[in-house]
Structure 1
Amino acid sequence: MIKRRLSLALSLLWRTYVVFFLYSIAFMLVIGLPFGRLVLANRNVILYTPAVALLVFALLLAILEMGLRINLLRAIFGARLKRSPAQWRTSVLHLSALMAALAAVNALVTFSGSADAWMYYRTYPGPLLFFVGVFAIGWAQATSDVEETGTARVED
């Protein structure tokens, strides 16, 4: 059971990281190209951008799953994981909630702390919270053999 939980948690972690990395590149291109001078000229924009990016990512995951039935995590080699659509849906909605919470924490650090505190948060606790949160979601959603098959073995 621990091997299954660890496997699912790590599988969801790398898929989430790949999807978030691709999204971050697209977000930087969309913000950086048209608004490059504004971003470089104003220090506050640099501080607020990660919170906005995380919130937009959370909304993107939720809207695509709820409205269009497109699961971005399943699109990244998701067919290899034997999960039902309901399990994928639950994973994405939990990840969406996690990303919204990380955006709120990032905004809180930005508004209440100094630029040095924000930089420290973005370097160490921010990525650690991302890793631990996604890992915990995958760990909690691993099912046992009994739940997977729907029936328990009967010994004669």
Structure 2
Amino acid sequence: MKAREFEDRVKELASKENKFKVKVKELDSKVKQHEGCVKEHQSKEREFEDRVKELASKEDKFKVKVKELDSKEKQHEGRVKEHQSKEKEFEDRVKELESKENKFKVKVKELDLKEKQFEGEVKELESKLNRFDGQLKEPELRWIQYEALMKYINEEKDSGKCSYFLFI
């Protein structure tokens, strides 16, 4: 019986060996599958690392771009402040010129008034001059009348027509 037991044991061991081989094949298949998964994972990990590097590079470029934009924004703010300052100066200058214009208009009105007063005074002086000229002409006319009268008297006297004038 030992031989039968031995054969049974060999069959049992052969069956176990077959089961073990099937298990080994299954495990080999699972190992290969796992190795494929590991390789796929490693590939994805490399892709991820490449993507991380790419994103880090993009982040660095983004930071540089942000710094450029910040610098440009500060420059723009500086230009805006400069523009606002110039605009304020311009508005102040406009107000100053408007004030000067108003003062100039007041002076023009004053000068217009003075001109009218001057014209009035000139007319008054012309009127006085005309009266004075009239007054000057009056003695001249009297003198002319006197000379004419004297000439007449002298003519009458010389002609002897009038005895009244003989004694003069």
TM-score, length-normalised on structure 2? Answer: 0.21
Q: Which of the pair has the greater relative contact order for Cα pairs under 8 Å at 6+ separation?
A: 1
Higher CA-based Rg? 2
TM-score, length-normalised on structure 1? Answer: 0.22
- Structure with the higher fraction of residues in helix conformation: 2
